[in-house]
Amino acid sequence: MKHYPGEPQTLESLHATSAAERKAWELRLYVAGKTGKSVAAFENLKRLCDEHLPGEYRIEVVDLLVHPQLAKGDQIVAIPTLVRKLPPPIRKVIGDLSNIERTLVGLQLRPSKQ
């Protein structure tokens, strides 16, 4: 999390190997400062993507403390919020993503059975 807080930026550098290939998944994680929840969310997300979407994703972290004006665009209310920009339709997962199953359901990587 060394880029953080800072400009909205892709974390491709951290995942250079996967980023170079197909980027069908475009994910954006909204956080507000370096809080426990934010850090947990980012780490959970990264782990999940590496496991389920190797080489097919791109994560952008937006720190609203630095760029408050960006909260409006994606209708951010809760923090942290993960937004699946691509593929459509837009999906949102809020929380620290600690429940991997639910996160996968939220990202529609797994059909919701319940």
Partner 1 sequence: MRRGEPSSTRSLPKAETGIEGLDEITGGGFPRGRPTLICGSAGCGKTLLAMEFLVRGATQFGEPGVFLTFEETGEELRQNVRSLGFDLRHLADQKKLLVDYVHVERSEIEETGEYDLEGLFIRLGHAIDTIGAKRVALDTIETLFGGLSNAAVLRSELRRLFRWLKDKGVTAVITGERGEGRLTRHGLEEYVSDCVIALDHRITDQLSTRRLRIVKYRGTVHGTNEYPFLIEEDGISVLPITSLGLRHEASTERISTGVPRLDAMLGGQGVYRGSSVLISGTAGIGKTSFAAHFADATCRRGERCLYFAFEESESQLLRNMRSIGLDLTPWLKKGLLRIHATRPTAYGLETHLAALHKLVNEFDPRLVIVDPITNFLKAGTQSETEAMLTRLIDFLKARQTTALFTSLSHGSSSLEQSEATVSSLIDTWLLLRDIELGGERNRGMYILKSRGMAHSNQIREFLLTDRGVELKDVYVGPEGVLTGSMRLAQEAREQAVAVGRQQEIERRQRDLERKRNALEAQAIAQRAQFEAEEHELELLIAQEQAAAASMVEGRQDLARSRKADTHAKSASNGSRRMATRGARK
Residues near partner 1, by CB under 8 A: 30, 32, 37, 40-41, 44, 64-65, 68-69, 71-72, 75-81, 89-99, 102-103, 105-107
Least distance (Å) from partner 1 to the CB of residue 62?
Answer: 10
Closest CA to 8 of 76, 81, 63: 63
Please identify, using beta-carbon distances, which residue of 19 and 104 lies nearer to partner 1.
Answer: 104
Please identify, using beta-carbon distances, which residue of 19 and 31 lies nearer to partner 1.
Answer: 31
Closest CA to 103 of 87, 82, 89: 82
Least distance (Å) from partner 1 to the CB of residue 17?
Answer: 27
| Structural tokens at position 42 | 């980012």
13 half-sphere exposure, CB direction, 13 A CA radius: 6
Please identify, using beta-carbon distances, which residue of 12 and 109 lies nearer to partner 1.
Answer: 109
Please identify, using beta-carbon distances, which residue of 20 and 77 lies nearer to partner 1.
Answer: 77
Residue with token string 């990587």: 109
78 half-sphere exposure, CB direction, 13 A CA radius: 12
